[in-house]
Amino acid sequence: MKRLVASAILVASIALLGLFLFPREAEAQAPGRAAFASNMTTGLDSWRGGGHKAAIRRWLQSSPLAKDKGYVAGLENDLGAVESAYGKPRSFAPIHNVDLTPNIRVNYMGVHLEKGPLFMRFLMYRLDRGEWIISEIDYNVKLDPLITPLLGATAR
């Protein structure tokens, strides 16, 4: 009996040590970080360096939305108006990633403009070849429409 207890303690100790030495798979992979950087931050860098139209071109690269002239014109007009009112982007920071399925992800981003924040939500889709594309972009200078659902309460 003592030997069985000693074996159980040894196994438990090894298991606990393994938790500290080797991160769990989810922590090690940080789901969404690679797509976050490649699809979104590149567009935001383009916005800072070349204006909102450069960002839109980068975001919609490989996306079927790039062919929708009305959608592109709407984004250009809206983000141009945001930029006129709030200024150019200074920096940006990830807010949250949600993997809805292995091929559908929602990324939330905060953009720090010269005169205020812009909240953005990107609906991402992974193509069969593994490339993530942006299939929808939402944005608002108000917190409620995009971010409040993440908080689980109304922030007014």
Q: How many whole angstroms separate alpha carbon 105 and alpha carbon 123?
A: 6
CATH number at residue 127: 3.10.450.50
> Rounded to 10 degrees, what is the CA torsion of 49, 53, 54, 58?
140
**pTM check: above 0.75:** no
**116 located within any domain:** yes
**122 located within any domain:** yes
**22 located within any domain:** no
User: Per the structure, how many domains does the chain have?
Assistant: 1
Please give the residue range of the domain that contains residue 90: 28-151
**3 located within any domain:** no
- Residue-by-residue pLDDT tens, the chain, 156 positions: 555 444 444 434 444 333 333 333 333 333 334 446 577 778 888 898 889 999 999 999 889 999 999 999 999 999 999 999 999 999 988 888 888 999 999 988 899 999 999 999 999 999 998 888 999 999 999 877 777 777 764 444
Task: With CA atoms as reference, report the closest residue to 43 among 71, 62, 30, 29.
Answer: 62
Q: How many whole angstroms separate alpha carbon 120 and alpha carbon 94?
A: 10
E strands, the chain, in order = 89-101, 104-113, 116-126, 132-140
**142 located within any domain:** yes
**76 located within any domain:** yes
